[in-house]
């Protein structure tokens, strides 16, 4: 944990709220478990903030799956189409990334899915597979209510999307209709999943002990394998297997005020000025969309107090979201006693030419507080799920830019989990190298296997 002994009492007073104590972590874990159980309950799910959505994915890969599969991965401004050839544990994969223009993200639903179908056509044409009808797994990384493995209704858009006519609709149907409108290729849509489930499945293909998936990137969410006996919402035949992956949608934890006890003035300001005010409170403390902004808000207060840049306010920092989360990762990527990278970012990226070495050190200190808090809260969430699952060994598959590129998040999360997990529950955090797209294809492969 970062120390504050070298800073003035005023700096310490301003930054102290960004620290979380062990007692606060224990309270977060207790409240999260309470919310999880509420989300799993049939009579309490409607009012639960964490929706604990059954994904209908009931088995992880055995490593014996074979065949060619298509996968789509939509969760932001980049959309990916993949062709995956499985031969047991061996995976051959080709893919192409397509841009989703802002006018498509914010236009009509028909326009969005027509764009997706056009990208699919271009990829399949390049791969020479237009004449084949392949099983398709669709990673759709937005909050959805699963109606079955291959059917999911969008609950609400996030991440800047607002295409009309999609919320409340089955995204599988919308995709099929767009493909039908073209009439020049076809697919067999087998599964619609979100990126956390895809990440879990991708890691489970190489590591069978993977029972939890986590995304810490632009947004933050988790999923895990739950016993069916605990899933009161399950309305299908309970047959085998007696477990199902639950998409927690845990970013909404705290939307009922449960996390107010650790929210700072910076968190409140960020929330009040966001496009989704009052929502995704937990995510706003952890994810890449928000960490840089929390740093900026803290820097503003330090400048106003005369503790940074000699009290002179740089115009750039008055601009919302001008301090990018990638700066946090870059600043903390050099040894703790160095500030060269931070000084360079302040000068070259932000145009702040009057920053002293002490200023750069204080900016680094604020970055470390914000990222340490995010890591501790993410670790608390993982520890809560591990304790709930009670598995003797669990690998946690993790994807997302914050986990992947911040030099200390893995270490800090591991330290938090070690402090709060039941000693009987061994764990390992594993970076998902192949992303959630591969997982969507594996889900299609597992679904095909279960039907045979």
- Whether 452 has a pLDDT exceeding 50, the answer reads no
Positions of CATH 3.40.367.20 in the chain: 1-53+208-421
Active site residues: 80, 141, 195
DSSP assignment of 53-100: EE-S------S--EEEEEEEEESSSEEEEEEEEEETTEEEEEEEEEE-
Distance in angstroms (rounded) separating the CA atoms of residues 369 and 359: 15
- Using left for φ > 0, alpha for ψ between -120 and 50, and beta otherwise, residue 250 falls in alpha
How many CB atoms lie under 10 A from the CB of residue 52? 25
Q: What are the tens digits of pLDDT across the range 120-158?
A: 999 999 999 999 999 999 999 888 888 888 999 999 888
- Please tell me which residue, 332 or 241, carries the higher pLDDT value: 332
pTM, 2 dp: 0.91
Lowest mean pLDDT among 161-165, 173-177, 249-253, 443-447: 443-447
Distance in angstroms (rounded) separating the CA atoms of residues 135 and 70: 6
User: At 78, is the pLDDT very low, low, confident or very high (cuts 50, 70, 90)?
Assistant: confident
Distance in angstroms (rounded) separating the CA atoms of residues 163 and 16: 41
User: At 239, is the pLDDT very low, low, confident or very high (cuts 50, 70, 90)?
Assistant: confident
Positions of CATH 3.30.420.40 in the chain: 56-193+434-451
The pLDDT value given to residue 445: 85
How many CB atoms lie under 10 A from the CB of residue 19? 17
The pLDDT value given to residue 275: 81
Architecture of domain 56-193+434-451: 2-Layer Sandwich (3.30)
The pLDDT value given to residue 449: 67
The pLDDT value given to residue 4: 60
Average pLDDT, the chain: 93
Q: What are the tens digits of pLDDT across the range 294-306?
A: 999 999 999 999 9
Distance in angstroms (rounded) separating the CA atoms of residues 439 and 191: 11
Residue 299, classed as helix, strand or coil, is helix
Fold of 1-53+208-421: Hexokinase; domain 1 (3.40.367)
DSSP-assigned letter for residue 277: T
Helix (H) or strand (E) holding 365: helix 357-389
The pLDDT value given to residue 38: 97
Rounded mean pLDDT of 259-277?
Answer: 95
The pLDDT value given to residue 1: 46
Distance in angstroms (rounded) separating the CA atoms of residues 231 and 55: 11
């Amino acid at each position: 944990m970062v120390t504050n002994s070298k800073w003035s009492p005023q700096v310490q007073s301003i930054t102290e709220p960004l620290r979380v104590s062990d007692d606060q972590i224990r309270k977060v874990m207790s409240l999260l478990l309470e919310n999880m159980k509420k989300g799993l309950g049939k009579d309490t799910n409607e009012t639960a903030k964490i929706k604990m959505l059954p994904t209908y994915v009931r088995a992880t890969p055995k490593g014996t799956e074979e065949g060619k599969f298509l996968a789509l991965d939509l969760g932001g401004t980049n959309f990916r189409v993949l062709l995956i050839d499985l031969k047991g544990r061996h995976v051959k994969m080709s893919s192409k990334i397509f841009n989703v223009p802002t006018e498509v993200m914010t236009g009509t639903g028909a326009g969005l899915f027509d764009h997706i179908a056009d990208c699919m056509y271009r990829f399949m044409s390049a791969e020479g597979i237009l004449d084949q009808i392949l099983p398709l797994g669709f990673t759709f990384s937005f909050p959805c209510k699963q109606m079955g493995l291959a059917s999911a209704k969008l609950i609400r858009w996030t991440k800047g999307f607002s295409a009309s006519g999609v919320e409340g609709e089955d995204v599988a149907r919308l995709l099929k209709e767009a493909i039908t409108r073209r009439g020049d290729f076809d697919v067999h849509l087998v599964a619609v999943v979100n990126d956390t489930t895809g990440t879990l499945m991708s890691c489970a293909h190489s590591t069978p002990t993977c029972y939890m998936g986590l995304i810490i990137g632009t947004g933050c969410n988790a999923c895990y394998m739950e016993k069916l006996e605990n899933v009161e919402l399950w309305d299908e035949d309970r047959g085998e297997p007696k477990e199902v992956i639950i998409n927690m949608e845990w970013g909404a934890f705290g939307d009922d005020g449960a996390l107010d006890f650790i929210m700072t003035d910076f968190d409140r300001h960020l929330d009040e000025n966001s496009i989704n005010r009052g929502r995704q409170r937990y995510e706003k403390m952890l994810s890449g969309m928000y960490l840089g902004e929390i740093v900026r808000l803290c820097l503003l207060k330090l400048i106003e107090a005369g503790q940074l840049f000699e009290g002179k306010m740089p115009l750039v920092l008055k601009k919302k979201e001008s301090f990018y989360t990638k700066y946090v990762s870059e600043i903390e990527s050099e040894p703790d006693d160095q500030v060269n990278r931070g000084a360079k970012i302040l000068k070259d990226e932000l145009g702040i030419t009057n920053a002293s070495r002490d200023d750069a050190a204080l900016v680094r200190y604020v970055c470390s507080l914000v990222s340490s808090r995010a890591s501790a809260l993410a670790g608390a969430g993982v520890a809560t799920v591990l304790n709930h699952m009670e598995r003797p060994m669990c690998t946690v598959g993790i994807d997302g830019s914050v986990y992947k590129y911040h030099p200390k998040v893995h270490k800090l999360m591991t330290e938090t989990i070690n402090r709060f997990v039941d000693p009987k529950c061994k764990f390992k955090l594993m970076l998902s190298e192949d992303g959630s797209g591969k997982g969507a294809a594996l889900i299609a492969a597992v679904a095909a296997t279960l039907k045979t």
